[in-house]
Amino acid sequence: MSNPQSGTIGCHCGICEITVADKRAVQYFRCGCEDCRQGIEWGSSRKTTKPNICTVKPDQLPHVYYIPADIISIKGKESMSAYKLREDGRSIRLYCNQCWSLIAVEHPAYQSNVFYILPKHCVTSCDLSVPLTAILFMKDYPEDYEIPPEDDVPLFYSFEYKQERQRFSSLLTVANTFKRRTDPLKGINFTELVNSLGEPEILNLERGKRFI
Ligand SMILES: [Zn+2]
Ligand SMILES: [Zn+2]
């Protein structure tokens, strides 16, 4: 019997899918950073012979939703591949290596508590009703892109200054999202899934480069 609380995140060709114990996204940002943009563009630029691939145009300011990292089942693991954009990169991006949908992303700062998805670039039944918290990393946002939305939420240019970091961590829900969870998992976290795939491949993407 399927659990009404659980949700799925998969790829556009349907081979890869993970099921999470709790489908409710706990955090929603829009992110102007170069890594989000290049991760999406790199996946979209890969050639594939699979039908039903993601042909949607990437958003200029991606929608980033955080999902509690408790994975209760995995389908198509043999078609999942993990990558880092650069040697010094810390985020790990999980793609379907058949259709190149970007399934999910994790960063060590999340302490294995959550991972994030970009709903336009995967297929998900998760509940994405959580309101937008902030717009991030506008330092990287290209000048020729559309004017960012004027939502009434805090906007962060960078996280280089202490004041910005303090302002960010003082936002309601932010601390809770990233702190290590103490309640037992029903399945495995995202770190365990990625570790089971072996060392992520380093893509060595050139900074500033656009792939589509
Ligand atoms: Zn796929
Ligand atoms: Zn980003």
Ligand in nearest proximity to the CA of 15: 1
- pTM score, two decimals? 0.94
CA of 28 to the centre of ligand 2 (A): 12
CA of 36 to the centre of ligand 2 (A): 4
Neighbours of ion ligand 2 (CB under 5 A): 31, 33, 36
CA of 63 to the centre of ligand 2 (A): 9
Mean pLDDT, range 183-190, rounded to an integer? 95
Mean pLDDT of the chain: 92
Strand bridging mode 71-75 / 80-84 = unpaired
CB atoms within 10 A of CB 25: 23
Ligand in nearest proximity to the CA of 9: 1
Chain segment 45-84, per-residue pLDDT in tens: 887 777 656 667 888 999 999 999 999 999 999 999 999 9
According to the model, what pLDDT value does residue 4 have?
A: 77
According to the model, what pLDDT value does residue 52 have?
A: 58
CA of 182 to the centre of ligand 1 (A): 33
CA of 176 to the centre of ligand 1 (A): 32
CA of 4 to the centre of ligand 2 (A): 30
> Quick check: 1 pLDDT over 60?
no
| E-assigned strand segments in the chain | 7-10, 17-20, 27-31, 63-68, 71-75, 80-84, 92-96, 102-106, 114-117, 123-124, 134-136, 201-202
According to the model, what pLDDT value does residue 150 have?
A: 79
CA of 15 to the centre of ligand 2 (A): 26
Comparing 87-96, 175-184, 203-212, which segment has the lowest mean pLDDT? 175-184
CATH 2.170.150.70 describes domain 7-202: yes
- List the domain boundaries for the chain: 7-202
Mean pLDDT, range 171-195, rounded to an integer? 90
